[in-house]
Amino acid sequence: MNIFRGPSTLVLTINGERRKVVVEPHETLLDLLRSPQVGLTGAKPGCENGDCGACTILLNQKPAKSCMMFAVDAEGQDLVTVEGLVDAPVQRAFLDHFAFQCGYCTSGFLMAAQALLLTIPHPDPHQITEWLRSNICRCTSYEEILQAVREASER
Partner 1 sequence: MIPGPLEYYRPTRWDEARQVFQQLIQAGRTPRYALGGTELITMARTSQLSFSDVIDLKRIPEVMTQDQDGDWITWGAGLPLGRIAALDRWPVLTATVDRVADHTSREHITLGGNGFSLLPYKEAMLPFMLVDHAEATLATGAGLVTGRLPDYFDGTWRVASEDFLVSLRVRESEVRNMRFRSFKLTRLDWIDYPLVTIVAVRHPTGEIRAAFAGWGSAPLVSAEVNRVLSDTSRSPGARAAAAIGAMPVKPLDDVHGSAAYRAFVTEYTLARMIGELEASS
Partner 2 sequence: MTSVGVNVPRKEAPNKVTGRARYTRDLCQPGTLYGLLVPAHVAHARIRAVETSAAKGLDGVKAVITGDDVSFLTGDVIEDHPPLARGKVRYWGEPIALVVARDAATAQRAANLVRLHCDPLPVVNSVAEALSEHAPLVHDEVGSYTIATPPAAPRRHSNIADEANVTKGDCDQALRESDVVVTVHVSLPQIDHAAMEPRVATAEILADGRVLVVSSSQAPFEVQKLLAQYFHLHPGQIEVTAPLVGGAFGGKATVQLEILAYLASRAVGGHVVTLANSREVDMATSPVGMGLEADVVLGAASDGRLKAARLTFYLDIGAYADSAPRIARAIAAQCTGPYRVDHLHADVYAVYTNHTYTTAFRGFGHMPMTFAIERAMDELARKLGQDPLDLRQLNALAPGDLSPTKARLTSSNLGNLPETIQRLKPLIGWTGGAPYAVAPHRVRVQGVAAFWKTSSSPPNATSGAIVTMNADGSVNLSIGAVEFGAGTKTAAAQILAEALRIPVSRVFIRDEVSTATAPEHWKTVASLSTYMVGRAVLDAAQDVVRQLKSLAAVVLRCAPEDLDYGNETVFVRDDPTIQLKYADLALGYQYPEGDSIGGQIIGRGRFMIRHLNLLDQETGHGRPGPAWTVGVQAVEVEYDTETHQYQILKAATVLDAGRVINPAMAHGQVRGGMAMGLGIASREQIRYGPQGEFLSNQFRTYKVLRMGEQPDTYLVEFVTNPQVDAPFGARPLGEHGVLAIGAALANALSRASGLALNALPLTPEFIWQQRRTMA
Give me the residues that bind ligand FAD (CB under 6 A), please. 50-51, 68
* Interface pick for ligand FES out of 50, 95, 133, 154 (rule CB under 6 A): 50
> Applying CB under 8 A, does 43 fall inside the site for partner 2?
yes
- φ/ψ of 131, rounded to 5, equals -75, -40
Q: What is the dihedral of CA 79, 77, 119, 86, to 10 degrees?
A: 30
Residues 68-87 as x/- pattern, contact with partner 2 by CB under 8 A: -------------xxx-x--
Q: What is the footprint of ligand FES within residues 69-128 (CB under 6 A)?
A: 100-105
Residue 146 binding: pick among ligand FAD, partner 2, partner 1, none (C-beta 5-8 Å cut-off by kind): partner 2
- Region of residue 143 (left: phi > 0; alpha: psi -120 to 50; beta: else): alpha
CB 104 within 8 A of CB 80: no
Q: Nearest approach, Cβ of 87 to partner 1 (angstroms)? A: 24
Residue 56's DSSP bridge partners are 65
> Applying CB under 8 A, does 142 fall inside the site for partner 2?
yes
CB 90 within 8 A of CB 82: no
| CB contact burial 111-147 (16+ within 10 A = b; e otherwise) | bbbbbbbeeeeebeeeebeebbebbebeebeeebbbb
Q: Nearest approach, Cβ of 68 to ligand FAD (angstroms)? A: 6
Report the interface residues with partner 2, using CB under 8 A: 24, 26, 34, 36, 40-49, 51-52, 54, 81-83, 85, 91, 94-95, 98, 100-107, 110, 128-130, 132-133, 135-146
